[in-house]
Amino acid sequence: MCDDSDMKILSGRPSQKFDTGEGAATAFTREKANGNLEKARRLGAKFAEDLLRNGSSKALFGVGAFDDDTTITQRRVMFAYVVNQVIGDTAPNSMVGQSALSAFYEEARNQSQEIYEQINDSAAFSQYLLAARYQPEDPCAIGKVFSRLCGRENEALFVEYGCELADFFTRYCAREALEIRWVR
């Protein structure tokens, strides 16, 4: 039998310090007051505009001879994946990051249900997540996923194409996110 005579039982009253409802409300008020939530919504809407803009979409930058309907769709999915990663890496906290992502997806859905459904392809998105998680040292892991999703897995040129797209999207999105100047 176990001797538990030295154990203390806490009172039934919850700790105010760890009351998550109180903490979340305080954090929300702080982030709203310092302008981070508005900045996050603007950033998310900008990324959606960059995805959807006819004629000058960042997701469709450099479309050429290698592209068809499949690659166009996969470029959009990759762009959405990169937006998620960059926001997660640059936002000062998860509340602000989630606000930016909510604005991104809301704006995409409002502007184009078809593209919204494309970028919410959870199977493709999961492949990008797994590649980044299990091959973080491989700078072309995302490009390899892109080539596989396009049905061109064994083509070195297409893997390189995916790597270059991933690099372009990441640099662009990171630059835009870093210009926000979050209040920390």
Rounded average pLDDT per 10-residue block, the chain, 184 residues: 45 42 77 93 96 84 88 94 96 94 97 93 90 89 94 92 94 95 89
pLDDT digits (tens, 9 = 90+) for 121-167: 889 999 999 999 999 888 789 999 999 999 998 899 999 999 999 99
Question: Which residues are CB-neighbours of 62 under 8 A, at least 6 positions away?
Answer: 168
Total-model pTM: 0.84
CB atoms within 10 A of CB 169: 24
In angstroms, how far apart are the furthest CA atoms of the chain? 76
- pLDDT reported for residue 20: 52
Is the CA virtual torsion 99, 50, 39, 88 positive or negative? positive
For residues 44 and 88, what is the distance between their CA atoms, to the nearest angstrom?
A: 12
- pLDDT reported for residue 102: 97
For residues 38 and 139, what is the distance between their CA atoms, to the nearest angstrom?
A: 33
CB atoms within 10 A of CB 32: 13
- pLDDT reported for residue 9: 39
CA dihedral 84, 89, 92, 95 (to 10 degrees): 30
- pLDDT reported for residue 10: 41
For residues 130 and 175, what is the distance between their CA atoms, to the nearest angstrom?
A: 24
CB atoms within 10 A of CB 184: 7
For residues 161 and 20, what is the distance between their CA atoms, to the nearest angstrom?
A: 45
